[in-house]
Chain A
Amino acid sequence: DQQVKQNSPSLSVQEGRISILNCDYTNSMFDYFLWYKKYPAEGPTFLISISSIKDKNEDGRFTVFLNKSAKHLSLHIVPSQPGDSAVYFCAARRDYGQNFVFGPGTRLSVLP
């Protein structure tokens, strides 16, 4: 039973447009969420995070929105660039520790 779901395995977006990646979770005890980006043959790299006490966090072209009542978060990338083409993982922290549950990932392709 996946506690963190990313229901879109892939997404294609035109360069310069907005990319929206979605993530749903089932455990209401999750209190901290992160997005990681992964290129082929490399490990995931941290992108942006949000605490459950906030509903939005912004860092340059990347914004994460959290809707606790819907148990849903989304990552917006504006404007999208070809270098953003990668697999994006959503992760959630549980047990107030440093253990995270990862979603299966969404492959983003930004077309020039």
Chain B
Amino acid sequence: NAGVTQTPKFRVLKTGQSMTLLCAQDMNHEYMYWYRQDPGMGLRLIHYSVGEGTTAKGEVPDGYNVSRLKKQNFLLGLESAAPSQTSVYFCASSYSTGLQPQHFGDGTRLSIL
């Protein structure tokens, strides 16, 4: 029972490089989310998706892009990485209706040098 799987778990980038974080869920959830967690702060929503082919901005979207081409996958892209994007990134998914909690992956630790 995989739940939410994030790839990779760790990554080190140089400033200006690009990369894509992959999130996959096997629970047939409609909603998917990308958060970042920084020291002393709660999880902050970057982008989210309410269904295949749809995406929307969250609280801190600048410098990131996302795509939801398949219902089970949600990709987070960094076009030109900056040191301020050093963080732990969490993907989550949930059902679309009712008061449903989010299910989280184990995170991707990203360092930008």
Which chain B residue has the least Cβ–Cβ distance from A44?
B104
Residues in B neighbouring A41, C-beta threshold 8 A: 106-107
Q: Which has the most chain B C-beta neighbours within 10 Å: A34, A44, A51, A105?
A: A44
CB of A62 closer than 8 Å to a CB of B = no
Count residues of chain B with CB under 8 A from any CB of chain A. Answer: 25
Looking at chain A's contact residues, is the secondary structure mostly helix, strand, loop, or mixed? Answer: strand
CB of B43 closer than 8 Å to a CB of A = yes
Binding site for A on B (CB under 8 A): 4, 31, 35, 40-45, 48, 50, 58, 90, 92, 94, 96, 99-107
Binding site for B on A (CB under 8 A): 2, 4, 9, 32, 34, 36, 41-46, 49, 51, 89, 91, 93, 98-105
